[in-house]
Structure 1
Amino acid sequence: MYPPKHHQDYNPENIKEVAKAYPLAAIISAKNSTPFITHAPLIFHGQKLIGHIDANNPHVNLLKNDYPVCTIFQGPQTYISPSIYTRKQLPTWNYIIAHATGIVKEIVDTEIIKNSIVTMTEFLESPDQKFVLDHEDVRMDRLVPYIHCFEIEIHNWEGKFKLSQDKVPKDIENAKRELIKNNQKSVSNFVNKLFEKHF
């Protein structure tokens, strides 16, 4: 990702936290200059990422056989108005993004696929675990033939955390509060409008 360096995070554990907190990834592959992009949750199995997509998705053919892949996890992001700063600044945009690149392999063993679905459900249901998916649920056997399961061996993590790090401490704190406030507000406004239009 493009520098400047003060917006980069080089600690893989910090970057992985973005993927854990925002597991819906943009999964990107390319063939003959044609990009393939699918959005799906990815979770950690050890140091690898694992995911599932519809078996009819044309992206499936590039999510196997050691093909290279890039995944993007986007955390909170917002416009930052100069009005929040104590010193004169220009408008900007703050965001938290993690990139992971590596190679992908298909998983075909039915039991491993079922285990991965159970594990993903446990992760997404945490910490309350209000729903527990039974590995022996007969619906799982009907589902498995219609999904493509894959794992990604990560070769490189990149983190870009643009959080007004180059500002004075008071303005860094103001930008942090703005990021939190605007994300809560924008989600509420957008979802309410969406539901008004469709329901």
Structure 2
Amino acid sequence: MYIPKHFKITNVDEISGFIEKNAFGTIVTTEKGRPIATHLPFGLKKIDDDYYITGHMAYGNPQWKTFEHCDDALVMFQGPHAYISSSWYGHEEVPTWNYQAVHVYGKASILEKDELIEDLTVMLEKYEENRDDPVLWDKLSPGLLENQLKGIVGFKIKVKEIQAAYKLSQNRNETDYVNIIDQLQNEGSPDSKRIAEVMNERLKRRM
């Protein structure tokens, strides 16, 4: 991913938090030179000093068969994004687009059954914890779970490289930056408001 220096993010904790918050991503591998992509929810875990992206896909999805011979898998995570009008600047300029994106590279391998169960248990706890009647692993019948496990393939990706870009008008002067936030907050798009919130948080940290 091309990342100009103004927009490059290297803080591992910040990137980890972004992945946790924007966990629905895209995994890309290749088969005979042709890219294959699947859109999935992912997990992030740290074992000793290594990070792993985890997930699962349908057994009928042929992409998991590429893991053995594909040197690297690419997982892409995207946050909010919004159009930035150049009419919001105090000088003549062209429009652009603000966004947050993280690319993770690493070797993918298949999870053992106990690892897959652990990963699914954690995922259910993450997404069900605030519900009135949470659907957790130990609440589901063993027969149902065993049958469902036969239909999926779990995998993990040992992270080798991370590329993170937050294009949030960091290259603009403070007056333009603040005006962009104000203009985005007045837009009707939820993504525009989310970008404005992210930009505003970064502005507060600079003060």
3-state SS of the aligned residue for 1:104?
Answer: strand
Q: Where does the alignment leave 5 or more consecutive residues of structure 2 unmatched?
A: 194-207
Task: Name the residue aligned to 1:32.
Answer: 32
3-state SS of the aligned residue for 2:164?
Answer: strand
Task: Name the residue aligned to 2:111.
Answer: 107
1:175 aligns with 2:180: yes
Aligned-residue offset at 1:8 = 1.0
Q: Map 1:1-199 onto structure 2 (within 5 A).
A: 1-46=1-46, 47-64=51-68, 67-109=71-113, 111-126=114-129, 128-130=130-132, 131-135=134-138, 137-138=140-141, 139-178=144-183, 181=187, 183-184=189-190
Residue type matched to 1:170 in 2?
T
- TM-score by length of structure 1 reads 0.83
Distance 1:133 1:155, change over 3 A: same
Distance 1:56 1:177, change over 3 A: farther
Percentage of identical aligned residues:
26
Cα offsets for 1:122-145 (capped at 9, x unmatched): 12235x254141336222111000
Cα offsets for 1:6-33 (capped at 9, x unmatched): 1111222222222111101110001221
- Is 1:77–1:179's contact at 8 Å kept on the other side of the alignment? no
Cα offsets for 1:44-74 (capped at 9, x unmatched): 1222111010010010102357741010000
Distance 1:144 1:177, change over 3 A: farther
Aligned mates of 2:158, 2:140 — CA distance in 1: 29
Task: Name the residue aligned to 1:191.
Answer: none
3-state SS of the aligned residue for 1:9?
Answer: coil
Aligned mates of 1:29, 1:155 — CA distance in 2: 15
3-state SS of the aligned residue for 1:56?
Answer: coil
Distance 1:177 1:129, change over 3 A: farther
3-state SS of the aligned residue for 1:116?
Answer: helix
Residue type matched to 1:99 in 2?
H
Q: Where does the alignment leave 5 or more consecutive residues of structure 1 unmatched?
A: 188-199
Distance 1:165 1:106, change over 3 A: same
Aligned-residue offset at 1:178 = 5.0
How many pairs does the alignment contain? 185
Cα offsets for 1:142-163 (capped at 9, x unmatched): 1000001001110111111111
